[in-house]
Amino acid sequence: MTELNVTVLEAYLASLLWGPVKVHGLSLLGEPLQAGAIKGYGYGVPIQVEYEASGERHRAVVETISPGPFGHEHMADRAQALLWDHQAFNRLPRHARSMDVAGFLQGGGILSLGKVEELLVLMEFVEGRGYFEDLTRLRNDGTLTDLDVARADALCDYLVEIHKVPGTDPGLHVRRLRELVGHGECIMGLTDSYPSQSGFITPQVLEEIEHRCIAWRWRLKGWSHRLRQVHGDFHPWNILFQEGTQFRVLDRARGEWGDPADDVACLTMNYLFFSLQRSERLEKPFETLFRRFWTRYLEKTKDEEMLEVVAPFFAFRGLVMASPLWYPTLPEAVRRTLFSFMLRVLDAKAFDPNRVNDYCGV
């Protein structure tokens, strides 16, 4: 909730129109408002503004979007929609013109965004080396150190800790499953990014994976009790290690809430990925890390149910790793093994961490 009042509007419109502005009235599209202010008016209520600028009277409408389902749960969702409106409205003949897109500030006031071409985020700089460097070394020399084991344990324990925080909105569970299958950055976006024909990867194979993942979405849709705080993109390029087992994480860009299986699948799939590059199967040293991670996580969380839900999350990560776009130099044998793994895991009722090479067909 926020407050919209005459003083705030006059200051905003004056900055937008480059001159003094006098607001004469606010109304709910025809319903006059008392005292010239709307306190706690909520979102999604169109407000008509009558104002005077350069000696002429004008009318405008302030519109917002209500939080809710259909992809509007988060402020960032609503910002995306309004930025789209501002550009798209003005490109269609006869459409009502958008004068600006703006945002309410926490301390009062309105910030214009209408002339923004692209958004940016300013981040702190974090020291560290990507965890992928550790995995690359292991792929190349095969020497597993005590520090490698300790770091995998630290990453496991971090997930155990953040996954303790439950979500409270069952709709977000449904949304994350829907996005897992249909979002442009997830399964369907990935299958669309594959070349029309890439050796054994035919449209029919990709369609089969999509169909199986849709079936998994409907199977898991009612499991909203699993909604937890997650990282959302917990892969080795988003993990920076400093000294010893100290680390920081980056780019939690896919959402705050989801199924813990997403994070666990994301990281442990990379142990399989690097092992396939080394020996075309899950083998030491990566087998040690893979099995140890799963055993430790399940022992600490008691989340045996994860084995029943993880399959489509493995499929998502597998499609990234097998992609000719993301990994153009990956040997075809590794791509074939990744597809075998995805299809067999999607076909199983529950995932068994001890049967990875069976899923891979090796």
pLDDT tens profile 76-124: 889 888 998 999 888 888 888 999 999 988 878 899 999 988 888 888 8
pLDDT of the residue at 39? 42
Residue that terminates a domain, selected from 55, 87, 112: 112
Tell me if 122 is assigned to some domain: no
Tell me if 117 is assigned to some domain: no
The verdict on 327 and 226 lying in the same domain is yes
Average pLDDT over residues 326-355: 97
Report residue 70: phi and psi, to 5°. Answer: 65, 30
- 163 CA to centre of own chain: 16
pLDDT of the residue at 234? 95
The verdict on 40 and 175 lying in the same domain is no
Exposure of 346 in the CB half-sphere (CA atoms within 13 A) = 25
Tell me if 273 is assigned to some domain: yes
The verdict on 102 and 143 lying in the same domain is no
Task: Provide the domain limits for residue 95.
Answer: 3-112
Residues 187 and 206: their CA atoms lie apart, in Å, by 10
What single letter denotes the amino acid at residue 58? H
Q: Which two tokens stand for residue 213?
A: 């993942």
pLDDT of the residue at 354? 97
Q: Is the pLDDT of residue 40 over 50?
A: no
The verdict on 355 and 272 lying in the same domain is yes
pLDDT of the residue at 1? 52
The verdict on 165 and 236 lying in the same domain is yes
pLDDT of the residue at 41? 44
Of 7, 13, 1, the closest CA to residue 102 belongs to 13
pLDDT of the residue at 287? 98
pLDDT of the residue at 64? 86
Percent of the chain topping pLDDT 70:
95
The verdict on 162 and 300 lying in the same domain is yes
Q: Is the pLDDT of residue 196 over 70?
A: yes
Confidence class of residue 133 from pLDDT cuts 50, 70 and 90?
very high
Tell me if 120 is assigned to some domain: no
Q: Which two tokens stand for residue 277?
A: 């590059």
Is residue 225 classed exposed, middle or buried when 0-12, 13-18 and 19+ CB atoms within 10 A define those classes? exposed
pLDDT tens digits for range 299-311: 999 999 999 999 9
Residue that terminates a domain, selected from 48, 80, 112: 112
Domain count, the chain: 2
Average pLDDT over residues 194-202: 90
Tell me if 309 is assigned to some domain: yes
3-state secondary structure of 201: strand
Q: Is the pLDDT of residue 33 over 80?
A: no
Residue that terminates a domain, selected from 87, 112, 137: 112
DSSP 55: T
The verdict on 107 and 156 lying in the same domain is no
The verdict on 101 and 139 lying in the same domain is no
Average pLDDT over residues 339-346: 98
Average pLDDT over residues 32-38: 51
CATH of the domain at 277: 3.90.1200.10
The verdict on 135 and 75 lying in the same domain is no
pLDDT of the residue at 43? 57
pLDDT of the residue at 5? 84
Task: Return the sign of the alpha-carbon dihedral for residues 216, 221, 226, 229.
Answer: positive
Mean pLDDT of the residues in the chain: 92
Tell me if 208 is assigned to some domain: yes
Of residues 196 and 188, the one with the higher pLDDT is 188
Confidence class of residue 35 from pLDDT cuts 50, 70 and 90?
very low
Q: Which two tokens stand for residue 279?
A: 């020996």
The verdict on 276 and 148 lying in the same domain is yes
Average pLDDT over residues 128-132: 96
DSSP 95: P
The verdict on 290 and 169 lying in the same domain is yes
Tell me if 84 is assigned to some domain: yes
pLDDT of the residue at 70? 76
Tell me if 177 is assigned to some domain: yes
Question: Tokens 């499953």 — which residue?
Answer: 177
The verdict on 99 and 224 lying in the same domain is no
